[in-house]
Amino acid sequence: MDLSIVPLLAILVSLAAVPFILLSSSKPNLREAWTVIAGLIKFGLVLTLLPGAIDGNTVELHLFDLAPGLPLALKADPFGVYFAVIASGLWIFTSFYSIGYMRGAGEKKQTRYFASFAVCLSATIGIAFSANLLTFIVFYEMLTLATYPLVIHNEKREAINAGRKYLAFTLTAGLLLVAASAIIYHYTGTIEFTPGGVFGDMELPRNTMLVVFILFLGAVGVKAGIMPIHGWLPAAMAAPTPVSALLHAVAVVKSGVFAVTRMVGFIFGTDVMAAYGLNDILIVLAGTTIILASLIAFAQDNLKRRLAYSTVGHLSYIVLGIALLTPLGMTGGIMHIAAHATMKITLFFCAGAIYVNLHRTEISNLNGIAKVMPWTMGAFAVGSMGLAGIPPINGFFSKWHLILGSFEGDMIIPALVLIVSGLLNVGYFFPILYRAYFKKGEGLEKYGEASPFMVVPIVITATLSVLFGLFPNLFFNFFDIALLVSESLFNGGTP
Amino acid sequence: MIESHLPAIIALTFVLFSLLIPLIGIWTKKTAHPLAVLGTGLATAFSLMSFITYMNTGSIRYFFGGWEPPVGIEFVYDGLSGFILLVINSVAFLALIYARRPGHMEFKGKETAYYALAMLMMLGFNGMVLTGDLFNLYVFLEISSLSSYALISIGRKPAPFAAFRYLIIGTTGGTLYLLGVGFLYTNTGTLNIIDMSAMLPMLVDNSSVVTALILMIVGIGVKAAIFPMHGWLPDSYTYASTPSSLLIAPIGTKVAAYVLFRVMLYLFGVDLTDAVVPISYIVGVFACIGIIYGSVMAIAQTEMKRMLAYSSVSQIGYIIMGLSLANPFGFAGALLHVLNHAVMKACLFMITGNLRYKEGHSNIRLFNDSYRKKYPWTMASFSVAAISMVGLPPLAGFFSKWYLALGTIDNSNWLFLAVIIVSSLLNAVYFFRILEKVYMKNPDADAQAEPAKEIEYDDVPASMMSPMAVLAIGLFVIGFANAAIVTILLDIFPM
């Protein structure tokens, strides 16, 4: 293990930008410059960790004791770096997009918005690099708090209620995490993330293990949007669209599934999960969530809400892949973190561009808009078909591995769930494309494509979705890292 | 050489200043406040010196006039009393610095009497903490109580009535304690705590000893405002003047809780306390009921001071719960919470004081988003203190809950663990309610009816701002340095 200060710097850089953002409140261009600079530096710092991660190396940094024997420790292992690359990379696009969106929509209190956004990113990278549960809790709660001002951004009654709902769910989750961590610390004496789990050969009563697992599941399941504790996510769509794009499709919810992976692979360990049958609970919940969320998505006329339920479903793809406890399933789950991130952020970006440009939020009003916004809707088509699992977009690649993983574990039902869900995805995305491309629109004459600040990020993320589908190892060796992580979690292949 | 006299010097400082203030007050009233600050400052410095001495050389038993117990009276300066002294004196020091302007506004012309009484009350508190003699403790208890009745009655119209009610209830409590001491004295023939603790194990089966213990717990419980003996507290804290509630709320109940620590863990010891009846568990259950009751009542309040008063009922429950766990983590968690709660509550009462000073009220219903602009620093401190009260890392409040949670798990006491979690959520309800009001526009208000005049910065003067800021920053410092504090506290644990 090497020592390195880079993980800490990567966390702090966006936090350090906050005072600058606040101080340049009256100069919007300067203020946004700080965001972009911080984003670029952060991404650069994370990238310097990437070569090591590809080789399977881990760098560590122990700062000081948070509690006796429990340090505030950072560890950039391959999985953490993988997540950090996705989150910090997409932040850059979101920053540009935010500029276009916030100015285009004439939103108030933009300083608070950009400052909170920077804090969120610090927290997300902190989550990625946490070496133990206590450090993780610190950043997990920080993310909760920093997201709150973004959810209630427009300060309307609906947003405030959404904010309350959000806090009620996430604060409860945080407390369950504290309880679960304390219990694990009591039994094992360590809460450090360890590939293979912290329990070792320890035998715990089945019921105790079950209680700890359920506490844990409640804690990480909220942010991962596992039904029935997903309710905050559709409500949080009251936030401005860039927030929904980066936080409610990438940073916050992916922190949730990241936490699920940490729990399954690094706290309980795949052996313990299998021995106590804990993964069955997870498979049932995830499978149900995938199907139900897809069905509910049909009923949503509001575009963002439909995307939100689609997010709920796709998060459970990842959870399912992890819960299969097979190397291929794990690989597929981890790959889907990146795949869903690039595709869903594209879709949300499109929804935001449509809103800012045409002031339309309902799907039934989207007739014929592909004529005026060809780039946006083209990207939307790529993202939505990718989510449905159509090759060559990266959603296909991860889903392929998920299905293989299901067969590898001799399980048919998860594979069926994934296939049915793919059809449902086509079912609820296709009407949008149909309306946009084939129906005749009204009142669109005076509109054109959205501002370049928004369209360029949209096209880039859509292109990335295709590129990563064709070349999974392009730029960042995501596939190699996913394989590496998943191998490290299984002792010699299958459990 | 002076080190060995430090315990006596700390208490005598307050004696000196309680006499000096009225004497100089004959000529001029202006010196009362500076002298009180000076006196408490000196006492804080001495407390710090003694604590450093304690860390280097261990406990100090100070025999007055060289008369050894059981003939003479002794002061015991050990880790527990040293820690509590440091907490109460430093918080009182900041509270008194703050008190000048609100005091000038609320009880102009009575300063001499007021600050002399404050010094007497501090003498009582310090004496209670230091003394090694049960009867002497009663004397100091009455000194502090009588002066606090007087301090509370200096306030708004209902204050004398609240103080009178407190007097009746408090005196009853004091008398019950004295009765308990009387029972113990007839059985053992000594009043010295250390002597008596050596004799008590021989009297395990003596029912009068058990009765004495219960009487003492109930009597002190009144002072500590343990549910259901808390009835005096909400009125007293609400109607007392700002400086009085600021002095009494963070400190008063803590000293009483300290006496319970002395009695249950040092005088009787865990085994003896629970020998006949599981007293610690029963006390813990009452603490739990108090935690929930206090939080629920706090949610129901519209007056901020009253809300904080009920919150105190709840928070004192945490301390008593930690005591009742009687294991190292529970003990350390409870003592850390003594510190945290003193800092948080002092900060919060200063914030209400600021609002009363500027707005003339602290009615939550009238709070609005202009406060954010008018009092940015006050409101920033409020956010910090509120988040710490809710218990989110890395602020101080999280860590006392973390250790308490570890303590409950060590005892396999799941009920208490659940109470900690539920209560944190309830805390979130009543604090975020205020944050919502202060940081967001009222969404139901008519957008057209906005006041035309520009809202300008109008925060409190430095003499009020700086103590508040020190406390708010202190919450971060305690949070980050808690490992060091808790290591010391774990060493203090008597078993």
How does pLDDT run across A40-73, given as a tens digit for each residue?
Answer: 888 888 888 888 888 878 888 888 888 888 888 8
**Measured between CA atoms, how close is A155 to chain B, in angstroms?**
6
Calculate the alpha carbon distances from B259 to A220, A235, B83, B275 in Å: 41, 49, 13, 20
B486 to A67: CB separation less than 8 angstroms, yes or no: yes
Number of C-beta neighbours around residue B491 at 10 A: 11
Query: How far apart (Å, rounded) are the C-alpha atoms in residues A372 and A436?
Result: 10
Residue B425 forms contact with A (CB below 8 Å)? yes
Token pair of A307 as six digits: 């995307």
Mutate to test the interface with A, among B384, B399, B409, B493 (most CBs of A within 10 A): B409
Q: Do A171 and B428 touch (CB under 8 A)?
A: yes
Nearby residues of B477 by Cβ (< 8 Å), 6 or more positions away: none
How many residues comprise chain A?
495
Q: What backbone phi and psi angles, to 5 degrees, belong to B339?
A: -65, -50
Cβ–Cβ contact B360 with A under 8 A: no
Q: Which residue from B68, B83, B188 is spatially nearest to B132, judged by alpha carbons?
A: B68
Contact assessment for residue A390 and residue A368, using Cβ atoms and an 8 Å cutoff: no
Alpha-carbon gap, residue B217 to B278, rounded angstroms: 13
Q: Which of B225, B229, B143, B213 is nearest to B179 (CA)?
A: B213
Contact of A145 with chain B, judged by CB distance below 8 Å, is answered with yes
B380–chain A Cβ distance below 8 A for any pair: no
Q: Which residues of B touch A155 (CB under 8 A)?
A: 440-441, 443
Task: Give B-chain residues touching A175 at CB under 8 angstroms.
Answer: 391, 421, 424-425
Enter the tokens of residue B283.
Answer: 């006390």
Contact between A387 and A343 under an 8 Å Cβ cutoff? The reply is yes
Q: How far is B113 from chain A (nearest CA, A)?
A: 45
A243 to A122, A169, A246, B409: CA distances (angstroms): 15, 18, 5, 38
Element of type H or E holding B482:
helix B462-492
User: By the 8 A CB rule, do A171 and A143 touch?
Assistant: no
What per-residue string of b and e applies to B404-419 under the rule 16 or more CB within 10 Å gives b?
bbbbbbebebeebbeb
Alpha carbon A118 to its chain centroid, in Å, reads: 16
B259 Cα to chain A: minimum distance (Å):
27
Alpha helical stretches, state H, A152-191: 157-188
* E strand or H helix that includes residue A74: strand A70-76
pLDDT in tens, B369-385: 888 888 888 899 999 99
According to the model, what pLDDT value does residue B185 have?
92
Chain B positions touching A174 (Cβ under 8 A) are 392
A278-300 per-position pLDDT tens digit? 888 888 999 999 999 989 988 88
Given an 8 Å threshold on Cβ–Cβ distance, is B483 in contact with A64? yes
**Of the candidates A386, A338, A311, which has an alpha carbon nearest to the alpha carbon of residue A83?**
A338
- A12 in contact with chain B, both atoms CB, cutoff 8 A: no
A493 band by pLDDT with thresholds 50, 70 and 90: very low
CA distance B36 to B93: 9
Q: Helix, strand, or coil here: A132? A: strand
Sort out which chain B residues have CB atoms less than 8 A from A171's CB and list them.
390, 392, 424-425, 428
SS3 B274: coil
* pLDDT at residue B449 is higher than 60: no
Which of B329, B331, B398 to mutate to test binding with chain A, by most A CBs within 10 Å of its CB? B398
- Tell me if chain A has a CB within 8 Å of the CB of B478: no
Question: To the nearest whole number, what is the mean pLDDT of chain B?
Answer: 88
Amino acid symbol at B362:
S
Give all strands of the β-sheet with A59-67 in edge-to-edge order. A2-3, A59-67, A70-76
- The confidence score (pLDDT) of residue B170 equals 92
Give the burial class of A223: count Cβ atoms within 10 A of its Cβ; 0-12 exposed, 13-18 middle, 19 or more buried. buried
- Select the residue from A15, A18, A22, A66 to test the B interface by mutation, using most B Cβ atoms within 10 A: A66
With beta carbons under 8 A apart, name residues in chain B contacting A164: 432
pLDDT of residue A494: 38
Query: How high is the pLDDT of residue B45?
Result: 93
- φ/ψ region of B368 (left if φ > 0, alpha if ψ in -120 to 50, else beta) reads beta
pLDDT band at B453 (very low <50, low <70, confident <90, very high): low
Q: Is B202 exposed, middle or buried (0-12, 13-18, 19+ CB in 10 A)?
A: exposed
Q: Which residues of A touch B392 (CB under 8 A)?
A: 141, 144-145, 171, 174
Length of chain B: 495
Q: Region A223-231: what's the mean pLDDT?
A: 86
The first and second tokens of residue A318, run together, are 């990842």
pLDDT in tens, A439-459: 887 777 777 777 778 888 888
Residue A64 contacts B, CB cutoff 8 Å: yes
3-state secondary structure of B192: strand
Indicate the SS3 state at residue A441: coil
**Contact between A186 and B409 using a beta-carbon 8 Å cutoff:** yes
Quick one: average pLDDT of A464-480? 81
Chain A hits for B424, Cβ within 8 Å: 171, 175
Q: What number is the average pLDDT over the span B456-470? A: 86
Q: Are A267 and A184 in contact (CB under 8 A)?
A: yes
Q: Indicate the residue of A64, A68, A174 with minimum beta-carbon distance to B487.
A: A68
Which of B436, B446, B492 is best to mutate for the A interface (most A CBs within 10 A)?
B436
Please, are residues B180 and B212 in contact by the beta-carbon 8 Å criterion? yes
Give A22's contacts in chain B (Cβ within 8 Å): none
Find out whether A193 and A130 touch, Cβ atoms under 8 Å: yes
Q: B74 has which bridge partners?
A: B63
pLDDT over 80 (residue B309)? yes
Nearest residue to A311 (alpha-carbon basis) of A290, A332, A284? A290
CA within 13 Å, CB half, A270: 24
Report the alpha-carbon angle B451-B455-B460, nearest 5.
135
Q: Alpha-carbon distance A258 to B385, whole Å? A: 30
Strand partners, B155: B240
Nearest CA to CA, how far is A39 from chain B (Å)?
Answer: 24
At B100-148, the pLDDT tens digits run: 888 888 888 788 888 999 999 999 999 999 998 899 999 999 999 999 9
Helix, strand or coil, per DSSP, at residue A70: strand
Question: How high is the pLDDT of residue B71?
Answer: 80
Does A222 reach chain B within 8 Å, measured CB to CB?
Answer: no
How far CA A495 is from CA of A264, A266, A488, B343, in Å, comes to 13, 15, 12, 51
Q: Work out the average pLDDT over A214-226.
A: 88
Interchain proximity B393–A137, CB inside 8 Å = yes
Mean pLDDT across B435-445: 78
Q: Does A152 touch chain B (CB under 8 A)?
A: yes
Count Cβ atoms within 10 A of the Cβ of residue B466 and give its class: 0-12 exposed, 13-18 middle, 19 or more buried.
Answer: middle
Counting one residue from chain A and one from chain B, the pairs whose CB atoms sit within 8 A come to: 81
Token duo for residue A391: 């090759």
Q: Is B417 on the interface with A (CB under 8 A)?
A: yes
Single out the residue of A271, A238, A131, A151 nearest to residue A193, CA to CA.
Answer: A131
* A169 vs B: CB within 8 A: no
Q: H/E element holding B217?
A: helix B207-224
Please report the pLDDT score of residue B446 as a whole number. 57
Do B387 and A134 touch, CB atoms closer than 8 A? no
Q: Any residues with CB less than 8 A from the CB of B306 and at least 6 apart, and which?
A: B234, B237, B238
The beta-strand segments (E) located in A166-247 are none
Chain B hits for A141, Cβ within 8 Å? 392-393, 398
| C-alpha to C-alpha distance for B170 and A107, rounded to whole angstroms | 56
C-alpha distance from A368 to closest chain B C-alpha (Å): 35
Buried b (16+ CB within 10 A) or exposed e, B374-384: bbeebbebbbb
Q: How far apart are alpha carbons A34 and A118 in whole angstroms?
A: 10
Regarding beta strands B74-77 and A70-76, do their DSSP bridges make them parallel or antiparallel, or are they unpaired? Answer: unpaired
At B318 the pLDDT is 93
Quick check: B483 and A145 CB within 8 A? Answer: no
CA B389, CA B348: separation in Å to the nearest integer? 10
Query: pLDDT higher for B455 or A354?
Result: A354
The tokens describing A43, both together, are: 């991404």
What is B77-95 written as a DSSP string? Answer: E-HHHHHHHHHHHHHHHHH
pLDDT digit string, tens, across residues B35-70? 999 999 999 999 999 999 888 888 888 888 888 877
Option in A64, A163, A175 nearest B424 (CB): A175
- Residue B36 identity (one-letter amino acid): A
CB burial string A415-451: b at 16+ within 10 A, e below:
bebbeebbebbbebbebbbebbbeeebeebeeeeebb
Question: Would you state the pLDDT for residue B450?
Answer: 55
Which residues, including other chains, have CB under 8 Å from residue A273's CB and lie 6 or more apart?
A264, A279, A323, A325
